Structure 1
Amino acid sequence: MLQDKNIVLGVCGSIAAYKAATLIRLLVKAGANVQVVMTPDATNFITPLTLSTLSKKPVLVDYFIPETGEWNNHVDLGLWADLVIIAPASANTMAKMAGGLCDNLLMAVYLSAKCEVYFAPAMDLDMWKHDATRENIVKLQSFGNILIPPGVGELASGLSGEGRMAEPEEIVAFISSSLKKKLPLADQKILVTAGPTYEAIDPVRFIGNHSSGKMGFAIADQLARLGADVTLVSGPSAQKSKQASIKRIDVTSAAEMLEACLLHFQNSVACIMSAAVADYTPAHPVQQKIKKADNYLHIELKQTVDILSTLGAQKTNGQVLVGFALETNDEEKNAIKKLQMKNLDFIVLNSLNDAGAGFKKDTNKITIIDKTLQKTTYPVKNKDEVALDICHKIIELIKR
């Protein structure tokens, strides 16, 4: 959820400022770009050098840098940020936020921000319970700011109770969950297949195809970005998912892919079968390497179980099933036949005759044909963009 997000992390004067170091590490590990803005008092608790080293960006404290005369532009920072997180948020800073006071750079960035603002209070028990603090929290929430509730535990004063800043792991989990709930595919279970299958002839040889898995992996990544709980069943592929939340299941043969799909299909709201599954497999694979002998080697082949047809026969109302058709001739005719025979909701057609389409490329050119035979043709795009077009069609069908 935090991949490529621009985050302004505001650090205030509180003993809990030491937790900002861990929070930055977690945000950066999640793929976020973190710009730290500290209040002057915060620098008494943890050094800007520590936080700049972890964030890989200079920490900003003042409006101006006297040595260079440079201005830290709070308006630009507010526009740059996808999220503002103020952690720890001291009682003093929350009072300034509630009252619109602007006596330091962090408050100027806060007042300039166009994005969501999260705040994680940190203070002693009596300060947390004070009526003024409670009123300020209510006021901040009325502005649309999002409270990350403090925990209960030992406080700096020696007291024990509420007011302890949430742990960095809890903050990241809270924000990720909050962001995910707003996405169009939040918590929808979706199954994706990708890559080729390898059908064993003997222990060292196989029948396969040229599929790299790029298209299927791009679809899985885009679905995860849109909030889906994605299970990716992949044949042999060097591709890697960009989204850590994706559950990947590696298989080799068509039979193994069928088994994995049957295990997860029933609980999936949608299934996108982008794998290039072998149509035939050796009828009698041997256990020892076949030695070269005669000029000709005859291998008897048998049909594999058609995974797409099997899932199409099991599909229930409300499930969306998507297939792919890579064709070399009579493209639309063959794609429509496959669409109707296999009970698909739509099929993604691409032709090896189109420049920019085909195996192992970073681009693709597709036509989507749905079960009403409505056709949408797209220009050549990179596969991430193609994947997003396919995802938008899935969202359209799921939301009906």
Structure 2
Amino acid sequence: MPIQRTRHLLAALALLGLAACATTPAAPAAAPAAPAAPPAAEATPKPQADSTRIPIGDSPVRGPDDALVTLVVISDFECPFCSRVTPTLEKLREHYGNDLRIVFKHNPLSFHPHAELAAEAAEAAHAQGRFWEMHDLLFQNSRALGREDLERYATNLGLDLERFRADLEQHVHLPRVRADQALAERLGAAGTPSFFINGTAFVGAQPYENFVAVIDTVLAAARFIPDRSLVYARMAANPLPSPRSPSAAPSPAPRRDEEGTPEIVNVPVNPKAPFIGGRDAKVVIEHFSDFECPFCARVSATIKKISETYGDKVRIVWRDKPLPFHANAHLAAQAAREMLAQKGNAGFWRFHDTLLQNQRALTRADLERYAQEQGADMKRFRRALDERSHASGVDADSANADSVGVQGTPTSFVNGRIVLGAQPFEVFSQAIDAALAAP
């Protein structure tokens, strides 16, 4: 598969554990300085204490409650980018039908003088059962959102105008708008439009194709949950990691063969890399990972289950891809390689497990403590870290990852076919079974 095409796939999806951790850390979204500014960069969502990370509540909804994909829209009626993406959302509804539910949340930005009152007007219409009609009118007339304009739209929709006016004068629905704003702040969604697709953050007025790329990936994972009514709660509580912020040029959908399967990537091999499973296995999983990445820790149980299930039929190869914003990841990778040199594959995987179980304690002193507990030759271990004996090997693996477009961790290749992120066992199993069945 051409390298550029692979990069397009990873950039469009950087997701599912998707690239659970991206090569460029997400920065808090900033409001645009002027209406002509590009969409804000995505922010890393902050977890909530509520068991439902992004509650639907009684927010306006289009689509069935048991849809496999729930797209939460956080928007501002005076934001030109929010208006621009509205036709895209309508096209998505037509494409996915009952598999897609769209939920609207408010985040009127402070520099949009009419946005908050427009949000209240939309909620006043919602109270009379006409939210989406008002929603459409507001976005179609985003430069005419004065009080008289809002009342005119209410009249056109046949609303009870006396009740509508009273709602605006008494700010009956302002607490609801402010609650949505507080939710957006907790999620790190400071800019508009922001989206959460089964909990996965997706930012900006991106092209239709970029939405499809993410939704298709989320939908594939959702299909493994047998009870449709549980899909949103489960995936929103443990969402796939976010794609990277949009670039100037849209990323095309990945090229697939006649059967719809992603094309094969020729991943450069590292014959000295640690592995588990059969040395001559028919299926090889090249698993690019980072000891400080929380999504890599999440998928480690899946990797073990693969090993237990398939035994020598599958070889799982660890490949280092320490991300630059993880301060201790590179040194941890060097330490793990030294344990491989001293203790072989078994010693590496034991040390691997310890590092992933202690991701907040990966300083030099921590690494030495773990090595000593596991019987390392400490003089040799310290010398390897002091002299950076394994740094070039870690960098070579990382360069190999870059050469095939890996932008985040974990990223795996099953006989060259991409499995992106901290995917459940069923997703890996499907790819493995297909590889085993191939001639």
- More strand as a share of residues: 1
| TM-score, length basis structure 2 | 0.25
**Which is helix-richer, 1 or 2?**
2
Asked which structure has the greater CA Rg, the reply is 1
The structure with higher relative contact order (CA 8 Å, sep 6+) is 2
Q: TM-score, normalised by structure 1?
A: 0.27
